Structure 1
Amino acid sequence: MRVMKWSMIALAVSAGTTQFAMASSQDESKGFIEDSTLTSKTRMLYMNRDYRNGAGNISKNGDGAAPYKSGYREDWGLSELLNYESGFTQGTVGVGVDAFAMGTLRLDGGAGRQGNGLFGTKSDGSPEDTQSKIGGAVKFRLSDTVLKYGNQFVASPVFSTDDSRLLPEVATGTLITSKEIKGLELSAGRFTALSSQTGMARDSINGPHEPGLTAANIAGATYQFTDNLVGGVAASDVDEYFKKQYVNLNYTLPIAESQALNFDLNGYRTSSQGEERAGNVDNKIWSLAAAYSIGAHKFTLAHQRSTGDSGYYYGVDGGGTIFLANSVQYSDFNGKDERSWQGRYDLNMASYGVPGLSFMARYVKGDNISTDTGEGKEHEFDFESKYVMQEGPAKDLSFRLRSAIYRSTSNYQADTNDVRVIVEYPLNIL
């Protein structure tokens, strides 16, 4: 489930700031220390999932299977992420390093209530009290092209590390990003390990079968055709799993000073290969979202459709690798042959004198899901409120409440009420 999506248009806008045939980023380097940054992000997450039927932790019969005593899962924890990014040394080729240190502290959630993906599990089945992870990468820059090797966070549509719990996933490998031409960003990489959000080992992502990720080769490009039109393509080859291709078009039509209409099209094609460790994956899925903004209000309609011999598969290539409109808080609406529709409303209270306060509500309904027991259907209602401190010593401290009510038929998934409280405090130290 990808919750915190990276916008393709944001990537392209950043690429558009590069000046062609002008001074490059490396020419303007101030030095290894002078351009260094050190940031911290403190996150507290409370997560409660109440499974209404067919799921749980503690079996009534003691055999680990249904029926269960309760479907109640509750976790509460605290995490800290320190992230250091050096500048580049001066000269034709700049050299730098990135490093991070992260850890979690369990505040609540025992063996009978764990299962929301916040903590690892001890040998006795109880959740870990504390966990920690460190890593780093070396980087080189020539003109406006950067090569980075080591541990890193990745945000490609075909390989994206997830950050929806206490700690993010971490990929190990090589990534090259080039912005030599104004408006164009090119990227290519190879990753050979991926650690999960609760796995502290270098390679702790497992697919349906061992050994998890062995190698993933990726490539992508985004281009800003005009101020309002951005396009992107990407492809991946995940060894012994599948090959995946992605396309995106994002167009904004200004209507008036405070009005705009935005269209966002995303699509994937995935085909299994080699040992087919994810099974026989044969899927095409796309989504189209139209958003109308007027002042403090935004209204969004979206449609998503999946076809092929399987549903859309992701995870071994990163838990965030699903850049689709109807991938929401609980469900991705990516089942085999599934069709889904979304209606969403966003309100920014800054226009009403309360800057930093926002609300969101959405409803997504999916049907035509091919299952072993017939047609599956699902629907989800989400509500979110968020407040970000605007000034003072606690500036940028945010409080967010997320709630999802999910229901399905034909036992496609267990009916669930999902509540999350997230408090985050980002801080620029250097």
Structure 2
Amino acid sequence: MKLTALSLAVLATISLPLMASEQSRSQGLVEDAKANLLLRNAYFNRDYKDNVSDAKSWGQAFIGTVESGFTQGTVGVGFDAFGLLGVKLDSGRGRNYSDFFDTESDGRPVDDLSQAGAAVKLRVSNTVIKYGNQFPSLPVLAYDDSRLLPQSFTGTLLTSNEIEGLELNVGRFTGDSPMADPARDPNRLKSIDVLGGSYAVSDNLNVSLYHSDIEDMYKRYYANTNYNIPFSDQQALNFDFNIYRTKYDNGSVAALAFGGDGQNDRNTIWSLAAKYSLGAHAFLLAHQRNTGDAGYAFDFGDGGNAIYLANSYYADFNLKDERSWQASYELDFATYGAPGLNYKFAYVRGSQIDVGPGSTGSEREIFNQVSYVLQEGPAKDLSFKLRNSIYRADNRVGPDLNEIRAFIEYPLSIL
């Protein structure tokens, strides 16, 4: 059925303009190769307000990636590889943040962790199939790169861009390497199958549709519509709608973790955001709603970023029956003579959370983030990012906390 759906999608768009073949323009394995090293210094401080042990970690990451070109000919062959190293600068037993560093048997964080991976790839025209260790970024399978080291997956992914504006993806993955664990698949992912694509209907309208199936966890559908209305060069209105529908497998630990009973649990969650941009300023209002037998579960084999919803910051506002509203503001200081400097503020409040028979709870978050990227000079592209979340909840929804994350990143192009 999945292959049939893909075939129908291809046939339905066969009359659309084809893209010029990327493979025909290949210069060779080495000639088109790229090698980069990202230096990332990251600090994390989560201050719990309910007498819970705080989490504090500081580390230095070295993230090296190599992307070869493709050999010339009808079928191009290439490879990708990466090497990761994270070095502990500060942390300790009782305050280690587990998404930064794994722990020893005595509870102390490791001094460093490392991992290497590689993938082989083939290209025909504008279609690439890749097998091995990789960083998928799809609405139903998205690796997490929001801490010290990135998450990675092992499997096969086919990406086709034969038709202008249309991208199709089909994949199967059988390994999940978390951010703070050098093991190849410590969570023992059985398999996740993904199928879907996105299409740019016009310069201002994009649509997406995806399906995934995580063995013994859940089956999921995702859809998105993004519509932009430009009023002028300095003024625009954007609407972004996202929806996930999930059918949990019987006995799924994911369903049980989010309020289900493990028996044919289902869930629907959607968000609608309206963003008005006026010069350097942007104002956003969003509503997100969750219904069904359980909350919206993710990162059970589909990655820590598999939640393409408007109200996702520290909290994801994805609990059982939760409804949430967001108001946010963004400022681009380029208009005021400071290109590369940006600020964002958001306030999100969720309510009507099902926390047990006849009982509901609520949660709220205040989010602030300042980022700056150097635009020129010898340290061009050096970036700084500081984000803060103030989170409060009631009625057993979650512990109150204040969180700070700080990142300094410097990308180096080696090849």
TM-score by length of 2: 0.92
Q: CA deviation at 1:227?
A: 1.0
Gaps of 5+ in 2: 1-15, 257-261
Q: Is the partner of 1:351 in helix, strand or coil?
A: helix
Identify the residue that residue 24 of structure 1 maps to in structure 2.
21
Question: Structure 1 pair 274/25, CA: closer, same or farther in 2 (3 Å)?
Answer: farther
Q: Which amino acid aligns with 1:216?
A: I
Q: CA deviation at 1:427?
A: 1.6
Alignment of 1:184-263 (within 5 A): 184-204=166-186, 206=187, 212-263=188-239
Give the distance between the partners of 2:390 and 2:252, measured in 1 at CA: 34
Does 2:271 match 1:287? yes
Give the distance between the partners of 2:160 and 2:375, measured in 1 at CA: 35
Identify the residue that residue 267 of structure 1 maps to in structure 2.
243
- Deviation sequence 1:252-306 (CA, Å, 0-9, x none): 0001120000000000011112552323342100000000001000000000000
Give the distance between the partners of 1:376 and 1:154, measured in 2 at CA: 35
- Range moving further from structure 2, 28-37 or 268-277: 268-277
Q: CA RMSD in A?
A: 1.2
Identify the residue that residue 65 of structure 1 maps to in structure 2.
none
Q: Which amino acid aligns with 2:41?
A: M
Alignment of 1:333-412 (within 5 A): 333-372=317-356, 374-412=359-397
Q: Which amino acid aligns with 1:202?
A: R
Query: CA contact under 8 A between 2:19 and 2:161: conserved in structure 1?
Result: no
Q: CA deviation at 1:21?
A: 4.2
Q: Is the partner of 2:59 in helix, strand or coil?
A: strand
Give the distance between the partners of 2:68 and 2:49, measured in 1 at CA: 49
Does 2:163 match 1:181? yes
Aligned residues: 390
Q: CA deviation at 1:116?
A: 4.9
Give the distance between the partners of 1:290 and 1:83, measured in 2 at CA: 36
Give the distance between the partners of 1:111 and 1:256, measured in 2 at CA: 55
Query: CA contact under 8 A between 2:98 and 2:180: conserved in structure 1?
Result: no
Question: Structure 1 pair 252/21, CA: closer, same or farther in 2 (3 Å)?
Answer: closer
- Give the counterpart of 2:147 among 155, 162, 165: 165
Gaps of 5+ in 1: 1-18, 57-71, 207-211
- Give the counterpart of 1:308 among 292, 298, 316: 292
Give the distance between the partners of 1:282 and 1:414, measured in 2 at CA: 27
Give the distance between the partners of 2:283 and 2:355, measured in 1 at CA: 33
Identity %: 50
Give the distance between the partners of 1:273 and 1:304, measured in 2 at CA: 24
Q: Which amino acid aligns with 2:66?
A: Y
- Range moving further from structure 2, 111-120 or 143-152: 111-120
Q: Is the partner of 1:390 in helix, strand or coil?
A: coil
- Give the counterpart of 1:420 among 396, 405, 413: 405
Q: CA deviation at 1:124?
A: 1.1
Q: CA deviation at 1:398?
A: 0.6
Q: Is the partner of 1:27 in helix, strand or coil?
A: helix
Q: Is the partner of 1:395 in helix, strand or coil?
A: coil
Identify the residue that residue 34 of structure 1 maps to in structure 2.
31
Q: Which amino acid aligns with 2:392?
A: R
Q: Which amino acid aligns with 1:269?
A: R
Q: CA deviation at 1:422?
A: 0.8
Q: Which amino acid aligns with 2:103?
A: T
TM-score by length of 1: 0.89
Query: CA contact under 8 A between 2:18 and 2:164: conserved in structure 1?
Result: no
Query: CA contact under 8 A between 1:246 and 1:268: conserved in structure 2?
Result: yes
Identify the residue that residue 58 of structure 2 maps to in structure 1.
76
- Deviation sequence 1:364-419 (CA, Å, 0-9, x none): 00000000271110000011111111111111101111000000010210000001
Q: Which amino acid aligns with 1:175?
A: L
Query: CA contact under 8 A between 2:19 and 2:126: conserved in structure 1?
Result: no
Give the distance between the partners of 1:226 and 1:22, measured in 2 at CA: 16
Q: CA deviation at 1:23?
A: 3.4
Q: Which has the higher contact order (CA 8 A, sep 6+)?
A: 1
